[in-house]
Amino acid sequence: MRVLVVGSGGREHALCWALAASPLLTKLWCAPGNAGTAEVAENVPIGALDFPALVRFAIAEKIDFVVPGGDPPLVAGITDAMQEAGFACFGPTRAAAQLEGSKSFTKEICDAAGIPTAAWERFDDPAAAREFVRRRGAPIVVKADGLAAGKGVVVAADIAEAEAAIADFMESGRLGPAGSVVIEECMTGEEVSLFALCDGTHALPLGAAQDHKRVGDGDTGPNTGGMGAYSPVPALPPALEEAAMARILRPALAEMERRGTPFRGILYAGLMLTADGPKLIEFNVRFGDPECQVLLLRLKSDLLAAMVAACDGELAHFDLRWRDEAALTVVLAARGYPGDPVKHTLIGGLDAAAAIPGVRIFHAGTERRDGKLLSTGGRVLNVCATAPTLAEARAAAYAAVAKIDWPEGFCRHDIAWRALG
């Protein structure tokens, strides 16, 4: 099969790495890709949202299968555009991708399907939102209703913080034209990400991972796109994972099918493990980043075959095999992230880092210029490791981080602290 991956981050490098191992693959491209994807695929200088150019490329290269990595192209309708042009595309249609594109849409699905989640209200008027917060009190959660690159959620400890989030999301213009917000009760418990491969009717568990959203050690500082992850997650044993599948993911899939918008692709449930059992925080419609990296490092099965089975509606006859190892990734980010990161700085030492047993490095925001590796974004490298135990995986990952020569980079030093103490 001739396959095109769409995107340029660490998730896309991991996808390319996994797809490149498939015996079904004949050629692999990544648009636009990064310095890491260039090692396993041919990069194509086309943006992830440039659907006409992507379709033209697919026609010219006789692409068999398209794999979008991130949420912006899926929410904008890349699957629809590819299908209309006659190409198979792994991911939900624009209508089904509303599960990530609109927080209020997801809440409506939850209400209709009886999915446990936080009590919520939607607001289009900032004044009404502020009045609601003052009336309900804090702690309280404020979410931008649409996409916000992982930075559209504030867990406000007090009224002032909640009002500042409302102003940021609705009045600052940072997220584009003024939109709506969803305001929720603040649930307590441990957060876990659970993934499933879906074919519109059936959901096949893809395992769980735990992300680290805050920029600083001890879960301090502002939210980011993710500073590290690990899998499996001791807090979500098999019985609890099956309970989440039965109460949350499968009912959502059934409700989407009932509405005539069947969901195919990756359904990612952000869960809060409360005293009353797992509750949904939010849905995403693609692999998480960096959760994708640790999940794919543990997957033994052919990823491309699994994706094709999902698109063909054949998951009822499909199964997945997993390595009996733990995987962990540490994100190296550029100084200034999650604000304005320093860019185009020189990175060295990757060969020495990758030589440590069990270590694999996925690129997230890099380019090669005149033979040198340079940073191009906020999250720049994913330093990953697999090992028989989570403690060993963490030790290997941080040993690799220590060998990377990048003074302008930083990372959290406590990935998997909840599991390892």
Write the DSSP assignment of 298-315 as a string of letters. Answer: HB-S-HHHHHHHHHTT-G
Determine, yes or no, domain membership for 101. Answer: no
**The domain that contains 278 carries what CATH number?**
3.30.470.20
Asked, for residue 312, whether it belongs to a domain, the answer is yes
Q: What 3-state DSSP class applies to 120?
A: strand
CA distances from 129 to 59, 151, 161, 172, 174 (A): 48, 19, 13, 15, 18
pLDDT for 406 equals 98
CB within 8 Å of 117: residues ≥ 6 apart: 107, 110, 279, 280, 281
**DSSP string covering 145-184, please?**
SS--TT--EEEESSHHHHHHHHHHHHTSSTTSS---EEEE
> Which residues make Cβ contacts (< 8 Å) with residue 269, sequence separation at least 6?
193, 194, 195, 196, 244, 248, 249, 252, 280, 283
Token pair recorded at residue 321: 């095999």
| Final residue of a structural domain among 45, 65, 91 | 91
Q: Which amino acid, one-letter code, is at 83?
A: Q
Closest Cα to residue 50, out of 58, 40, 39, 42? 58
281 falls within a domain: yes
Q: Which amino acid is at 63?
A: I
**Residue of 197, 183, 157, 188 lying closest to 103 (CA atoms):** 183
User: Which pLDDT score, from 0 to 100, does residue 149 have?
Assistant: 67
Peptide linkage before 338 cis (omega within 30 of 0): yes
Q: Say if residues 197 and 315 touch (Cβ distance below 8 Å).
A: yes
Q: Give the number of other CB atoms < 10 A from CB of residue 299.
A: 18
Domain boundary among 286, 317, 348: 317
Q: Which residues contact 204 (CB under 8 A, 6 or more apart)?
A: 196, 197, 198, 306, 310, 315, 318, 319, 320
Does 254 share its domain with 291? yes
Residue type, 160: A
Predicted structure pTM score: 0.94
| Cβ contact 346:397 at 8 Å | no
Decide if 113 is inside a domain: no
Residue 120 counted as domain residue: no
Q: Is 14 helix (H, G, I), strand (E, B) or coil?
A: helix
Assigned token pair, 68: 């979008």
- Kindly state whether residue 285 falls inside one of the protein's structural domains: yes
- Whether residue 108 lies inside any domain: the answer is no
Give me the pLDDT at residue 87, please. Answer: 98
Same domain? 24 vs 131? no
pLDDT computed for residue 258 by the predictor: 97
Which pLDDT score, from 0 to 100, does residue 39 have? 96
Backbone dihedral angles phi then psi of residue 50, each to the nearest 5 degrees: -90, 75
Query: How high is the pLDDT of residue 152?
Result: 83
Same domain, 161 and 81: no
3-state secondary structure 240-263: HHHHHHHHHHHHHHHHHHHCCCCC
Question: Considering 40, 72, 91, which residue would you say is the last residue of a domain?
Answer: 91
Q: Residue 178's pLDDT is what?
A: 58
Q: What CATH number did the domain enclosing 25 receive?
A: 3.40.50.20
Question: What's the domain count of the chain?
Answer: 4
- Domain of 37 in residue numbering reads as 2-91
Rounded Cα gap, residues 328 and 326, in angstroms: 7
Say what the pLDDT of residue 177 is.
61
Angle between helices 103-113 and 250-258 (to 10 degrees): 100
Average pLDDT per consecutive 10 residues, the chain (421 residues; last block may be shorter): 98 98 98 98 98 98 98 97 98 97 94 96 93 93 82 88 92 73 94 97 96 95 93 96 97 98 97 95 96 98 97 94 97 97 98 98 97 97 98 98 98 96 81
**Looking at residue 179, what is its pLDDT?**
78
266 shares a domain with 209: yes
